[in-house]
Amino acid sequence: MLQMTKAVYDAIRAHGEETYPHECCGALLGRSTSDGWQIEAAVKADNTRTDSAHNRYQIAPVELVKIEREARQRGLAIGGFYHSHPDHPAHWSQTDFAEAHWLGCSYVITAVANGKAAVTNSFRLAGDTEENKQFEQESIEVQE
């Protein structure tokens, strides 16, 4: 299960509407609990994939380092990543899977249909190596 505040949930959905028809992306900062990640902040990232920004996303390594530092300063850790699927279902693609390397982290995808945020799903990257990793859909609990 992925737990997040309403403010975070609204922010990642709004980000997807903002960048439509391109994908948005960002990181989720929180704490690890026995029930999964408790997300307390979303950090927007620039989509560095200029070649195909409508169906690819990538956070630049230098930006990721900055995000990790910010997380540490706030006593949090990177618990996941989010991106949007403009006019596409909220399900991971083969590219999303190939480019997901943060085992134990949650990957949140929001479908944005005609500029409006629709379904938001979360997939936890399970497994303990790159060879046996797999996405498992998990529920999202939004807290007021």
Question: Of 6-14, 40-48, 86-94, 114-122, which part binds Zn ion (CB under 5 A)?
Answer: 86-94
| Token pair listed for 80 | 């996941």
Integer Cα distance of 72 and 119 in angstroms: 31
Binding-site string for Zn ion from residue 112 to residue 131, where x marks contact by CB under 5 A and - marks none? --------------------
Q: How far is the CB of 38 from Zn ion (least distance, A)?
A: 24
Integer Cα distance of 52 and 57 in angstroms: 8
- Asked if 22 is part of the footprint of Zn ion (rule: CB under 5 A), the reply reads no
Q: How far is the CB of 31 from Zn ion (least distance, A)?
A: 25
- Asked if 96 is part of the footprint of Zn ion (rule: CB under 5 A), the reply reads yes
Integer Cα distance of 93 and 85 in angstroms: 10
Closest CA to 3 of 105, 144, 135, 142: 142
* Nearer residue to Zn ion within complex by CB, 76 or 100: 100
* Nearer residue to Zn ion within complex by CB, 66 or 91: 91
Cα 34 to Cα 1, 30, 84, 124: the distances in Å are 10, 13, 27, 14
Answer whether 27's CB lies under 8 Å from 85's CB: no
Question: Of 8-16, 61-69, 95-103, 116-124, which part binds Zn ion (CB under 5 A)?
Answer: 95-103
Q: How far is the CB of 140 from Zn ion (least distance, A)?
A: 17
Q: How far is the CB of 96 from Zn ion (least distance, A)?
A: 4
Question: Which residues are near Zn ion by CB under 5 A?
Answer: 93, 96
